[in-house]
Structure formats: C-alpha cells, structure tokens
Amino acid sequence: MSVHPHPSGHRLVPTSPVDPPRPLRIAVIGYGYWGPNLARNVIERPELELAALCERDEARAAAFTQRVPGVPVFGDFDEVLDDPEIDAVLVATPPRTHYGLARAALNAGKHVLVEKPLAKTAAEASDLIALADSRGLVLMPGHTFLYSPPVNKVRDLIQQGMLGDVYFVTSSRMNLGKYQSDGVICDLAPHDLSILLYLLEQPVAQVSASARSVFQEGITEVAFLTLTFANGVTACVQISWLAPRKVREMVIVGSQRMVQYDDTAADESVRVFDRGMEFKEPANFGEHQLSYRSGDIVIPRVDAAEPLGLELQDFAHAIRTGTTPRSHAHLGLEVVAVIEAAEESLRRHGQPVLLKRAAERAAA
Ligand SMILES: NC(=O)c1ccc[n+]([C@@H]2O[C@H](COP(=O)([O-])OP(=O)(O)OC[C@H]3O[C@@H](n4cnc5c(N)ncnc54)[C@H](O)[C@@H]3O)[C@@H](O)[C@H]2O)c1
C-alpha cells in the first residue's frame, strides 16, 4: 500500500531515524455530547496534539475553555481550514453537516475523521472517498465499536470457526436516548451495521424497515430493521430511544455454538454457549427428527481498553503510514447505503429494498 503524501507540505515523518515524529496537530469540530470524549482522547494520545477546537455555540466553547485552558477556540470552520499548522480534523457535529465540513477539510488538505455516519447519502460518501483518494488524504468514519474489545473477541470466535456457520444475528440497542433531529436510524443503526459488516465480512443484499414516530412527524424514535447479507445470513436489529433501560445486546447463532455479547455488562460481556439443534433424517415414519445439544457456557477473557483511544491511534497510524484504518471509508459508505435503503423501505411501508453491490454503486 502506498504512503499518503501530505498536501500541506508538513513533515510527518521523522527528520532523522532517531528523531521521533512530532505529534499530529488535531482540531476537534463540535463540542456537544461526543466532542468532549474526542478532545479528552486526543489529549491522552502521545501521537496527537489538541491544536484547536471549533465550536459555534458560545456556551459550549466556554465549557471547553474551562476544561482545557490554553487551547485556541475558533467559532468559524474557515479559520481551522486556513491554519497550515493543523494536520487533521475530527468532525463531531450533527450528521447533516458531515458532508460539507469533511469536503471542505479535504479540499484544504486536512486528514479527516468524521463521526458516524460518514454522510447522509451514499452519493455524498462516495464523493468524499473519491476526493480523499485523489488528494492522498485519510478519510475515516468514526465507527468506534470496531475497536471495542468484546466485538473483536466475537469476531475472533467467528473467524476461528468456533460458531460453525453463522445462521442469524439479533441486535438490540435501546435506551431512554438523546433525541436527535436526524432520527433513530441515522443515530443508532450505524453502530449495529458497522459491527455486523465487521463480524460477517459480507455486504448487505436487502433491507426492510418499520418504525414509529411518536413526537414529531418524520423523526423516528424506534425502528426495526431486517437485513439479509449476501451469503444468506439474516439479522434483525431493533433500535430505540424510548425504552425503560439500556440494552446493548447482540446474539449470534451458528451451527456449532451461539454467542451473546452484552455491551452493558461491566464484566463477562461475551458468553459462548455450546448449544444447538441437529436435524436427523428419520429412519422410520414418526421417529424424532431433532436432537438438542446443551453443553457448557464459556466466558472468554476480554481485554479492557477504551475503544475511542484505539480508534484515534488507528487514525494517526493511517496518516503516518498510509495503511487503511480498520474503520475505513468504504465500510462507512456501506453503512450509509444500508441506512438509505432502510429509509427507502420505510417510505414504501416496509417493503424490502435491494442494495446495489458496491461495484455497481461506484460505477453509477
Ligand atoms: N461514536 C460514537 O459512539 C458516538 C456517540 C455519540 C455521538 N456520535 C456522533 O457524534 C456526532 C455529534 O453528536 P453529538 O451527540 O455530540 O451532537 P450535539 O448536537 O450534542 O453536538 C454537536 C455540536 O456541534 C456544534 N456544531 C454544529 N455545527 C457546527 C459547525 N459548523 N462548526 C462548529 N461547531 C458546530 C454544535 O454547536 C454542537 O455543540 C454525531 O455524528 C453523532 O452521530 C458518535
């Protein structure tokens, strides 16, 4: 893989084999709910330096200055773009603003990490990918769960063949959640979709969706997605901001074993069940055809690490080395394409919507 040249002309490589590279200078854009987590992790990572915050809201900007005195705050994004000392931006603003901000940053020669979802439409996401590629810049969507130790444990189990053939997945992400004007699908589904794409390594072929808007027409608070992946695996995803308690659970059912991943569990977040059902051709009419297997439940050890810190480490590594980050822009595009298809299914009263293959989308 080629190493990205740096259009701003900054030296991002050591000046001599013994000099460590200087930290990448980062601007965080948006200091609402998620921005403070990004800012804190930038400060904590040795390969990064928090060079500036950009926040339009004066009260939020003041909250930042109180917590992180001495770091410049810009109210206008153009000031960030005009600063040649800033290498990269982390965009933590509402989803409808992602495309415009990311596009402007790439055009200004900055590497970009955009919070999920990468953009509102697949066309916008494709445009950003083409722009980043043409300029040799890193464009990375912030799919934080790809760096979560339990998610990676489940992926390892699947890849080692512990589950056998994966049959289906159920995923629930519910809470009394923060109301967002982009709707619950845009807000929460990127988590489930990015995890599913990462675990199954298969594109989504078809999606159908149903949802309910309780408070404001067109803004859904609860949604149910049914996905079919290209290899036939199915997944049912339920997401809601209206729920009595926090649920973040995924169950993966395979021919050999079943796995439960509970992200709310402080400990024992992954459980492997040696359970299943086997179908036997009957020798005689009336003979039982099914046999049940109910073996041990194993709780594998899962390392403790903050996913967001690992995500930023990967972003810095991608900028330094030109390697593709784990949360890569094409995965971000797939997520956006599935969300778009789910919203299309909602408009068609739950009818299944077929997704174009990535290659077809690129050619369109
Ligand atoms: N990875 C995760 O787990 C995770 C979790 C929560 C939110 N997010 C994502 O983070 C993003 C932000 O979500 P949030 O809940 O923090 O939103 P928010 O509305 O709480 O905060 C957004 C902030 O951006 C500021 N802003 C908007 N436009 C701006 C602009 N042009 N320039 C400067 N500042 C601007 C607003 O004033 C606000 O303070 C969303 O994309 C969301 O999906 C990711």
Question: Tens digits of per-residue pLDDT, 203-214?
Answer: 999 999 999 998
Averaged over 121-140, what is the pLDDT?
98
- Any ligand 1 atom below 6 A from CB of 93: yes
Closest CA to ligand 1's atom 37: 57
**Burial zone of 15 (CB within 10 Å; 0-12 exposed, 13-18 middle, 19+ buried):** exposed
* Cα(142)–Cα(299) distance, integer angstroms: 29
**What is residue 6's predicted lDDT score, i.e. its pLDDT?**
46
User: Who has greater pLDDT, 182 or 283?
Assistant: 182
pLDDT tens by residue, 14-52: 455 567 789 999 999 999 999 999 999 999 999 999 999
What's the 224 CA to ligand 1 centre distance in angstroms?
24
Q: What percent of the chain has pLDDT over 90?
A: 83
**Burial zone of 269 (CB within 10 Å; 0-12 exposed, 13-18 middle, 19+ buried):** buried
**What is residue 270's predicted lDDT score, i.e. its pLDDT?**
98
Q: Which atom of ligand 1 is nearest to the CA of 54?
A: 33
* Mean pLDDT, rounded, of the chain: 92
Closest CA to ligand 1's atom 38: 32
- Any ligand 1 atom below 6 A from CB of 29: yes
- Any ligand 1 atom below 6 A from CB of 95: yes
- For residue 294, is pLDDT > 50? yes
- Any ligand 1 atom below 6 A from CB of 311: no
User: 275 forms bridges with which residues in the sheet?
Assistant: 294
The size of the chain, in residues, is 364
Assign 277 a pLDDT band (cuts: 50, 70, 90).
confident
Assign 281 a pLDDT band (cuts: 50, 70, 90).
confident
Assign 280 a pLDDT band (cuts: 50, 70, 90).
confident
Assign 1 a pLDDT band (cuts: 50, 70, 90).
very low
What's the 17 CA to ligand 1 centre distance in angstroms?
39
Averaged over 138-144, what is the pLDDT?
98
**What is residue 18's predicted lDDT score, i.e. its pLDDT?**
61
Q: 28, 29, 33: which to mutate for ligand 1, most atoms within 8 A of CB?
A: 33
Averaged over 314-333, what is the pLDDT?
97
- Any ligand 1 atom below 6 A from CB of 74: no
pLDDT tens by residue, 166-199: 999 999 999 998 888 899 999 999 999 999 999 9
Assign 5 a pLDDT band (cuts: 50, 70, 90).
very low
Please tell me the least confidently modeled range out of 163-177, 229-243, 275-289: 275-289
Q: Can you tell me whether residue 295 is helix, strand or coil?
A: strand
Q: What percent of the chain has pLDDT over 70?
A: 91
**What is residue 282's predicted lDDT score, i.e. its pLDDT?**
72
- Any ligand 1 atom below 6 A from CB of 32: yes
Largest CA distance in the chain: 81
- Any ligand 1 atom below 6 A from CB of 190: no
What's the 95 CA to ligand 1 centre distance in angstroms?
8
pTM for the model:
0.93
Element (H, E) at 109: none
Number of CB atoms found within 10 A of residue 195's CB: 25
- Any ligand 1 atom below 6 A from CB of 77: yes
316 with 24: CB under 8 angstroms? yes
**What is residue 358's predicted lDDT score, i.e. its pLDDT?**
62
- For residue 223, is pLDDT > 80? yes
- Any ligand 1 atom below 6 A from CB of 136: no
